[in-house]
Structure 1
Amino acid sequence: MINPKSYSKVLGFAVLLTLIVIVLGAYTRLTDSGLGCPDWPGCYGQLSVPENISTHEYQRPLEKHKAWNEMIHRYVAGTLGFVVLFILFMTIRGKNVLKQSVGLPLLLLATVIFQALLGMWTVTLLLSPLIVTAHLLGGFTTLSLLWWLWLNNRSTTLHSNNSDSSPVIHKSSLLKIAALFGLLLVIIQIFLGGWTSTNYAALACGTQFPSCFNSWWPDMDFVKGFELTHESGVDYEFGVLESPARTAIHYTHRMGALVVFSYMMLLGIRLLSVGGTFSKLAKLLLVVLFSQVSLGIMNVMLGLPIAVATLHTLFAALLLLATLAITHRIIKS
């Protein structure tokens, strides 16, 4: 029997699993394990990491720790794919009870399938920044769709039980527009973070903060830095851009962080005065926001330690979830 409670549990598990996939993807990227297995979906022609390989068949030597980083990420991502398929099945079977259309789960499944293709192209196109960034955004898109489904199910359950005590915000309220604009800013900043990482620009200003190479406006090449092209046959591992281009990417990410921090802090403070669930969500937003900015600064000043950089990706996901929760609550009010 499909019911909202079991549906919510499966969705919650899928959200958690997606967060794990995103963190594992970040760890794989940060440990330079993206090409730990030079083929797809297996690893050196096998379903697991082999003990040894033929050096004549593969140009890349086997580095077991990198290969395992990559394969564990693939295993967990594959598991998520089956969970998403099960969610679609549950939605279809319990459509009348759940009051959830199949449109969103179908879009979710299509996103996961496209994610698998991007995962393959990440390897076959030798870590092209355009593909790897798209793969990262696909992971965040999957997370967003699952979270939105969970929020929808929770909202339906609360309304059915008449237990939703959140303040009502009129449809014409500027707060709705403000929340949607905040969501857009967070998405853009996630793209900039992904573009920074995939172009190996995280330390393009060294370990200096807030200045960059003892300057507030260092030598930068924005045209090259944000050229969204891919050249076939080029190995993009460790990056191919010159220093001014990487500096432009890094500096833009810093400026974006300043804009997002300022805007979301003001939005959070405004929501604190609304009361009810909005106040709780605002507190969560502010905690995640300050944590994320602190992790970003630590990334630079400590020279990009893997643990801190991985947490930076996790808190980017948590910031997105908090912003989506606020947006959903405002829209449904």
Structure 2
Amino acid sequence: MKPSIRRFRAVTGIAIVATFVLIVLGAVIRATNSGLSCPDWPHCYGFWVPTPAKLATVPGIDYTFTQVMYEWVHRFIAGIIVGPLTLILAIWALVMRRENLRPALFGIAALALLLVQGLLGGLTVLDRNSPWSVAVHLSNAQLVLAMLIGMYVSAGRPAQSALVWTEPVARGARLAVFAVALLALSTIAAGAMMAKNGASLACSTWPLCDGAVVPPLDDPLIALHFTHRVLAGVTALAILGLFLWARRTRRRAPGFARDMHRTIGLVALQVGVGAAVIFLQVPVWTAATHQGMGVLVLASLVVTLLHLAFGPGTAVPRGRPEPAAGQAMPARGA
């Protein structure tokens, strides 16, 4: 792999990690009720950088300095790290488009989604952190993350990238993985709606909901909580189905099996963390870990989907191929 591609992938990796931290910090903000600790946007109480001394001049603040810092650091990472890095990567990918067009396409999509994300962030604040705006904001953030992952994976051609495997897999696998990824995204969004509505403990036991397989759904909070559990269960079963499919094809497609082994392992951890959220009465660290694990499951599915998309026959080489040993170069008219 060329040094320039390695550098591009290294910077993209930094952007991916920063975006993941940003999403997990969003869960911390929800768990600590810090979502409106900076009530204006893009400033925070009229300041670009709030300090204890500056905040002391503002009357009637109902939040601690720590809560304000959670929200401000979230904005800082988004505006000073993720935003500029995504812009740089998109421009960088456009410069390299003659060698490989795919990172440029992912870069343009990431940049467009990031602009939408900034608008959604402002809307979330102006809409007083309504549950629907929080869920949409979180969902779009994960789409940004998916595009950054797409840039990273597609930057290396299949033969050069340690991530990309090229064994033939049934065409239906792409559609199946895509559908399950959408299901995982919906589950995470429903979890954000549940948490923001204060329904995290509407079902106080696990795996049953207060001793019932299907609880009475006349209470909106119980209905919201139970919907999230149903989506999570269906997602887990769908991933299990993909895992079993990959196991059956592991001899001719070991890469698909490796990807699904990783994903099913993350799902097992996520189930344990989800149970801990209930058993431990939603401490901040479990809420943040639960969301972080959910994002990792989705990211793993995205990587698998990219591997399927960039499998055999999908590479776009530039220039004439080198002949194999003992093989003549084909004529121009061949």
User: Which residue is 1:226 aligned to?
Assistant: none
CA contact (8 A) 1:201 1:250 kept: yes
- 1:310-321 aligned at under 5 Å gives the runs 310-321=288-299
- Greater CA deviation, 100-109 or 22-31? 100-109
CA contact (8 A) 2:276 2:286 kept: yes
Q: Deviations over 1:172-220 (max 9, x none)?
A: x3323322222222122122112212222111112x1222233333332
CA contact (8 A) 2:19 2:82 kept: yes
Give secondary structure in 1 for the equivalent of 2:221.
helix
Q: Deviations over 1:227-272 (max 9, x none)?
A: xxxxxxxxxxxxxxxxx11110100111111111111012112213
User: Which residue is 1:214 aligned to?
Assistant: 211
Give secondary structure in 2 for the equivalent of 1:270.
helix
> 2:137 and 2:148 mapped to 1: Cα distance?
17
User: Which residue is 1:103 aligned to?
Assistant: 105
> 2:270 and 2:175 mapped to 1: Cα distance?
24
> 2:9 and 2:93 mapped to 1: Cα distance?
11
> 1:163 and 1:18 mapped to 2: Cα distance?
20
Q: What is the TM-score of this pair, normalised by structure 1?
A: 0.85
Check 1:55–1:76 CA distance in 2 against 1; reply closer, same or farther (3 A cut).
Answer: closer
> 1:80 and 1:202 mapped to 2: Cα distance?
30
CA contact (8 A) 1:166 1:278 kept: no
Check 1:61–1:55 CA distance in 2 against 1; reply closer, same or farther (3 A cut).
Answer: farther
Which amino acid is the alignment partner of residue 272 of structure 1? R
> 1:163 and 1:63 mapped to 2: Cα distance?
44
- 1:29-68 aligned at under 5 Å gives the runs 29-52=30-53, 59-68=60-69
- Greater CA deviation, 304-313 or 179-188? 179-188
Which amino acid is the alignment partner of residue 166 of structure 2? S
Check 1:59–1:120 CA distance in 2 against 1; reply closer, same or farther (3 A cut).
Answer: farther
CA contact (8 A) 1:3 1:98 kept: no
Q: Deviations over 1:280-325 (max 9, x none)?
A: 2121111101011111111112111211111111111110111111
> 2:290 and 2:63 mapped to 1: Cα distance?
29
User: Which residue is 2:159 aligned to?
Assistant: 159
- 1:86 positional shift: 0.4
Check 1:24–1:163 CA distance in 2 against 1; reply closer, same or farther (3 A cut).
Answer: closer
1:286 aligns with 2:286: no
> 1:304 and 1:253 mapped to 2: Cα distance?
15
Check 1:161–1:61 CA distance in 2 against 1; reply closer, same or farther (3 A cut).
Answer: closer
Larger radius of gyration: 2
Which amino acid is the alignment partner of residue 296 of structure 1? G
> 2:145 and 2:152 mapped to 1: Cα distance?
11
Check 1:59–1:125 CA distance in 2 against 1; reply closer, same or farther (3 A cut).
Answer: farther
Q: Deviations over 1:38-84 (max 9, x none)?
A: 11122211112232568997654352111011111111111100001
Instruction: Provide the identity percentage.
Output: 25
CA contact (8 A) 2:153 2:163 kept: no
1:129 aligns with 2:104: no
> 1:10 and 1:133 mapped to 2: Cα distance?
28
CA contact (8 A) 1:44 1:58 kept: no
Corresponding residue to 1:196 among 194, 197, 200: 194
Check 1:101–1:164 CA distance in 2 against 1; reply closer, same or farther (3 A cut).
Answer: closer
Give secondary structure in 2 for the equivalent of 1:114.
helix
Quote the RMSD (CA, aligned, Å). Answer: 2.4
User: Which residue is 2:11 aligned to?
Assistant: 10
> 1:260 and 1:150 mapped to 2: Cα distance?
26
Corresponding residue to 2:231 among 256, 259, 265: 256
Corresponding residue to 2:178 among 180, 184, 187: 180
- 1:123 positional shift: 1.6
> 1:314 and 1:178 mapped to 2: Cα distance?
23
> 1:115 and 1:259 mapped to 2: Cα distance?
28
Give secondary structure in 1 for the equivalent of 2:99.
helix
CA contact (8 A) 2:153 2:306 kept: yes
User: Which residue is 2:94 aligned to?
Assistant: 92
Q: How many residues align?
A: 306
Q: What is the TM-score of this pair, normalised by structure 2?
A: 0.84
User: Which residue is 1:295 aligned to?
Assistant: 273
CA contact (8 A) 2:103 2:150 kept: no
Give secondary structure in 2 for the equivalent of 1:95.
coil
Which sections of structure 2, spanning at least 5 residues, go unmatched?
312-334
> 1:18 and 1:161 mapped to 2: Cα distance?
22
1:307 aligns with 2:285: yes
Which amino acid is the alignment partner of residue 214 of structure 2? W
